């Protein structure tokens, strides 16, 4: 499938080097107020930044050794990782840690210098509620389909998916399906693109895509595209670049990406860049951040934008990493 990117205006191109510089500058912004307010996302932030760099073709832009050191310094005795050194272990940061280590090919370091893959797997598995199949974020039990997806993501990368009750978890996902074809954060909750991604990706990893009402879901997802070309998260909400990932990868997983207008979406993402200082924001004109930078670039990769590394739609990581780790 070819896209005519030459039809895009001259000024609407991906400013790769600016984005690389932006991501590199992130860990030096210690004096910014926002920085310490988001310390509970520090490890996740590293995953977003690193993924973007890999997809941009600049994996070396963050120092590998320091990256590994930092990730391992967040690990606890129980195998789980906190969002930053000294922070309690949590599912989301654990998943980010595994993804980062996979990307920089450091599972060996995890064995020799960290607590080892088995311990990480054990921690993740301990967060599953064996009655309902859902996963909690930490010992306190906030349950969310994001954690379920995270668990499947990390465990499959570690080759330890068998540690959890996959079938029960799948049953729970099925219970989160809604009348409009979408999925919510928990049974009965409103369909939401982010939650849809987590449910569909989890079902894909579990090999249970047959449970998805593909036509209905695809239809609902295609409706996320609004006139400006961007995608929103729910009906009648504003478009947001991060949905370029959640919606698009979901469509990719069910084989329906041609149900939206790809060129318009590409335009939208590119218009949301800060071409001078680098980074991508949620929509044109707003402040950039690393989250939207990651998902904007991942979206562009899914849209086959030239010069980007192919992204895996299930894991939101470079296809080359998934090939190396999972052999497919």
63 contacts another protein (rule: CB under 8 A): yes
Nearer to another protein, 43 or 161 (CB): 43
Smallest gap, in angstroms, from Cβ of residue 169 to another protein?
17
User: By CB under 8 A, how many residues form the interface with another protein?
Assistant: 69
Smallest gap, in angstroms, from Cβ of residue 96 to another protein?
12
Among 14, 20, 23, 26, binds another protein (CB under 8 A): 26
Question: Given the rule CB under 8 A, which of 43-51, 109-117, 157-165, 266-274 is the region that contacts another protein?
Answer: 43-51
Smallest gap, in angstroms, from Cβ of residue 160 to another protein?
26
327 contacts another protein (rule: CB under 8 A): no
Contact assessment for residue 257 and residue 302, using Cβ atoms and an 8 Å cutoff: yes
Nearer to another protein, 43 or 166 (CB): 43
Among 9, 188, 285, 306, binds another protein (CB under 8 A): 188
Contact assessment for residue 303 and residue 265, using Cβ atoms and an 8 Å cutoff: yes
179 contacts another protein (rule: CB under 8 A): yes
Smallest gap, in angstroms, from Cβ of residue 275 to another protein?
26
27 contacts another protein (rule: CB under 8 A): yes
Contact assessment for residue 88 and residue 123, using Cβ atoms and an 8 Å cutoff: no
Smallest gap, in angstroms, from Cβ of residue 312 to another protein?
20
180 contacts another protein (rule: CB under 8 A): yes
Q: How far apart are CA 30 and CA 121, in angstroms?
A: 33
287 contacts another protein (rule: CB under 8 A): no
Question: Given the rule CB under 8 A, which of 35-43, 110-118, 196-204, 279-287 is the region that contacts another protein?
Answer: 35-43
Applying the rule CB under 8 A, the residues between 113 and 172 that interact with another protein are: 138, 140-142
Applying the rule CB under 8 A, the residues between 77 and 116 that interact with another protein are: 84-88, 90
Tokens of 117: 């893959």
C-alpha pair distances (Å), 131 with each of 128, 165, 302: 9, 10, 37
Smallest gap, in angstroms, from Cβ of residue 45 to another protein?
7
**Which residue in 140, 121, 150, 210 sits closest to 174, CA to CA?**
210
Q: How far apart are CA 203 and CA 210, in angstroms?
A: 9
Question: Given the rule CB under 8 A, which of 9-17, 151-159, 215-223, 316-324 is the region that contacts another protein?
Answer: 215-223
Applying the rule CB under 8 A, the residues between 221 and 260 that interact with another protein are: 222-223, 225, 227, 229, 234-237, 255-256, 258-260
34 contacts another protein (rule: CB under 8 A): no
The site for another protein (CB under 8 A) is made up of 1, 26-27, 30-31, 35-40, 42-43, 45-46, 62-63, 66-67, 69-70, 73, 84-88, 90, 138, 140-142, 174, 177-181, 184-186, 188-192, 213-216, 218-220, 222-223, 225, 227, 229, 234-237, 255-256, 258-261, 264
């Amino acid at each position: 499938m070819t896209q005519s990117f030459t039809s895009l205006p001259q000024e609407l191109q991906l400013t790769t080097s600016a984005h690389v510089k932006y991501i590199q500058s992130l860990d030096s912004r210690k004096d910014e107020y926002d920085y310490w307010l988001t310390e509970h996302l520090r490890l996740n932030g590293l995953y977003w930044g690193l993924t973007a760099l890999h997809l941009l073709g600049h994996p070396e832009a963050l120092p590998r050794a320091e990256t590994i050191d930092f990730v391992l310094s967040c690990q606890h005795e129980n195998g789980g990782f906190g969002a930053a050194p000294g922070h309690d272990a949590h599912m989301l940061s654990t998943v980010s840690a595994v993804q980062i280590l996979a990307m920089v090919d450091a599972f060996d370091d995890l064995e020799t210098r960290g607590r080892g893959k088995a311990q990480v797997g054990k921690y993740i598995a301990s967060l599953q509620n064996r009655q309902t199949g859902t996963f909690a974020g930490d010992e306190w039990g906030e349950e969310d389909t994001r954690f379920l997806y995270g668990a499947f993501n990390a465990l499959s990368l570690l080759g330890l998916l068998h540690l959890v009750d996959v079938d029960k978890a799948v049953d729970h996902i099925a219970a989160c399906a809604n009348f409009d074809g979408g999925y919510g954060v928990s049974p009965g909750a409103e369909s939401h693109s982010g939650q849809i991604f987590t449910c569909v990706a989890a079902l894909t990893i579990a090999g249970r895509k047959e449970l998805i009402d593909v036509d209905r879901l695809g239809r609902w997802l295609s409706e996320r595209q609004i006139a400006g070309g961007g995608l929103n998260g729910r009906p009648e909400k504003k478009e947001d670049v991060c949905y370029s990932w959640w919606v698009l990868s979901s469509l990719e997983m069910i084989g329906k990406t041609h149900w939206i207008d790809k060129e318009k979406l590409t335009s939208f993402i590119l218009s949301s860049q800060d071409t001078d200082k680098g980074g991508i924001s949620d929509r044109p004109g707003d402040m950039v951040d690393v989250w939207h930078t990651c998902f904007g670039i991942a979206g562009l990769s899914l849209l086959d934008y030239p010069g980007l590394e192919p992204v895996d739609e299930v894991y939101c990581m470079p296809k080359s990493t998934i090939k190396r780790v999972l052999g497919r």
